[in-house]
Amino acid sequence: MAISRRTILNASAKISAFLVITCFGLCRAAAVELSGYMSAEYRYSHHDALFSSSGQHNPSMALAPEFYTEWDNGEQSLLFSPFIRVDGEDAERSHADIRELQWLLVRDDWELRVGIGKVFWGVAESQHLVDVINQSDFVENTDTEDKLGQPMINLSLFQDWGTVDLFVMPYFRERTFVGRDGRLRGPLVVDTDAATYESGAGRHHLDVAVRWSHSVGDWELGLSHFYGSNREPQLLLNSTATALIPFYETMHQTGIDAQYTRESWLWKLEMIRRETSASTFFALTGGVEYTFYSVFDSDIDVGLISEYLFDDCDDVCRTAFEDDVLVGTRLTWNDVQSSELFVGVIHDLSSEDMAWNIEASRRIGDRWKVSVEGRFFNVDTVQSVLYPVRRDDYIQLELARYF
């Protein structure tokens, strides 16, 4: 069997530590630019845990520096951004990752990126269907917006008729899952060390992807195809029924994303068709974002977001969003402290289940930022994938120092 995930993590932490030390040394010597943040976080869970022994209080710290240097008149550069978290409760959430370690070569009509990188595709807010290159760092946040660094070679070609991106990904990153002592999990822990693959090559399967994207007047368009290991594993019972085992299928996924921007309206659509040897499914996210600027002669902007989430996966893959609606509002104060507030709820149309999300942030001085995040679940449907986490409502306070 291949190396366990813990070994990878240790290796990743060691490489990070080595590179950080080397970089700090280099920073003094050469023109290496250092930026990033460190943060302290406290998460309070409203209820006692259903499945784990963890309490209601969870402190945690993270460090995310970024080293950057360029040469050749800025046409070549190297970027290194490791990430380290130490969690007070969950050993699985204490983890290190290399988010980026990438060499970039810039030419007039093409760019080449080699190393570990991060890529975002898509236009929607509620979920990111077409965004398939990077694995989600699920222990960081269940909103799938934190990503693990993906080893890749990425060639971008710029043409009058759009940009073509080609990706070759020689190494697979497994999804992180909450451990025995963490919240936001089901009765069985996911045994990430026992992950299995449909492909015989396992995590060394050569994944490939191609994407065309273009701006045409008021339209932003994207068309993509991915072939490789599905970033979303199926979770299977192990032989003794004591844990879940991630199973990574091989898939073909075609995605379309489009945004139409007119006045204060943004119209968004993402669609995917995913084909594995076991099944084929279709999913869609579509909606609008409308912003009232400078409401009541103040500086405050009020944005309204509504998206519809659909997939025809039925009970086969048990996704969270089969027939759901997101309704949300984003308040932007446009003040010196860049104060922001987002409140949203995803409502399952086939039941009364709801998941609430609150995010707020504000700068303090020039270097500090305080953020609040809250997740609240009203879930009564036993069949729902959110049912196991129905008692894991939390509110989290984070204080970050940027440098």
Partner 1 sequence: MRKFLLLALLLLSPVVMAETPEEKGLAIALETDKRDKGWQDSYAEMKMVLRNRHGKESVRQIRVTNLEVDGDGDKGLTVFDEPRDIKGTSFLSYSHSLEPDEQWIFLPALKRVKRISSSNKSGPFMGSEFAYEDISSFEIPKYSYLYLRDELFNGMDCYVLELRPQYQHSGYTKSHVWIDKAEFRSQKIDYYDRKDSLLKTQIFSDYQQYLDQYWRAHTMTMQNHQNGKSTTLQWDDFQFKNGLNDGDFKKNDLKRQR
What is the Cα–Cα distance from 231 to 32, expressed in whole angstroms?
34
Choose, by CB under 8 A, the member of 159, 334, 349, 350 that binds partner 1. Answer: 334
The three-state (H, E, C) secondary structure of 226-291, written as one string = EEEECCCCEEEECCCCCCEEEEECEEEEEEEEEEEEECCEEEEEEEEEEEECCCEEEEEEEEEEEE
> Which residue, 77 or 319, has its beta carbon nearer to partner 1?
77
Spatial CA neighbour of 33 closest among 73, 75, 80, 76: 80
CB of 324 vs partner 1, minimal distance in Å = 22
Choose, by CB under 8 A, the member of 191, 220, 323, 398 that binds partner 1. Answer: 220
CB of 172 vs partner 1, minimal distance in Å = 20
Choose, by CB under 8 A, the member of 22, 215, 329, 350 that binds partner 1. Answer: 215
CB of 220 vs partner 1, minimal distance in Å = 5
Please report which residue ranges of 263-359 form alpha helices under DSSP H. 314-317
CB of 316 vs partner 1, minimal distance in Å = 30
48 binds partner 1 (CB under 8 A): no
Binding mask 173-212 for partner 1 (x = CB under 8 A): ----------------------------------------
For residue 5, count CB atoms less than 10 angstroms from its CB and return exposed for 0-12, middle for 13-18, buried for 19 or more.
buried
Torsion angles phi and psi, residue 393, rounded to 5: -50, 140
336 binds partner 1 (CB under 8 A): yes
What is the Cα–Cα distance from 84 to 168, expressed in whole angstroms?
26
402 binds partner 1 (CB under 8 A): yes
Choose, by CB under 8 A, the member of 369, 379, 384, 390 that binds partner 1. Answer: 369
> Which residue, 198 or 257, has its beta carbon nearer to partner 1?
257
Binding mask 66-85 for partner 1 (x = CB under 8 A): --x-x------x--------
> Which residue, 111 or 191, has its beta carbon nearer to partner 1?
111
CB of 227 vs partner 1, minimal distance in Å = 22
Choose, by CB under 8 A, the member of 19, 37, 273, 347 that binds partner 1. Answer: 37
CA distances (Å), origin 236, targets 82, 184, 201, 240, 242: 31, 18, 20, 11, 11
Give the pair of three-digit tokens for residue 26.
């280099």
> Which residue, 123 or 346, has its beta carbon nearer to partner 1?
123
What is the Cα–Cα distance from 320 to 312, expressed in whole angstroms?
12
What is the Cα–Cα distance from 346 to 136, expressed in whole angstroms?
20
Angle at 206 between CA 204 and CA 207, to 5 degrees: 120
326 binds partner 1 (CB under 8 A): no
Give the pair of three-digit tokens for residue 119.
């890529």
Q: Are 321 and 284 in contact (CB under 8 A)?
A: no
Q: Are 158 and 215 in contact (CB under 8 A)?
A: no
329 binds partner 1 (CB under 8 A): no
CB of 201 vs partner 1, minimal distance in Å = 27
What is the Cα–Cα distance from 139 to 174, expressed in whole angstroms?
12
Choose, by CB under 8 A, the member of 24, 91, 293, 352 that binds partner 1. Answer: 293
Could you tell me which stretch among 5-13, 188-196, 247-255, 363-371 binds partner 1 (CB under 8 A)?
363-371
Instruction: Report which DSSP code applies to 171.
Output: S
Residues in region 91-130 near partner 1 by CB under 8 A? 104, 106, 108-109, 111, 118-120, 123
DSSP letters for 23-89 = HHHHHHHS--EEEEEEEEEEEEESS--SSSS--SEEEEEEEEEEEEEEETTTTEEEEEEEEEEEESS
Binding site for partner 1 (CB under 8 A): 33, 35, 37, 68, 70, 77, 104, 106, 108-109, 111, 118-120, 123, 145, 156, 158, 163, 215, 220, 259, 261, 263-266, 291, 293-294, 297, 299, 301, 334-338, 363, 366-367, 369, 400, 402-403
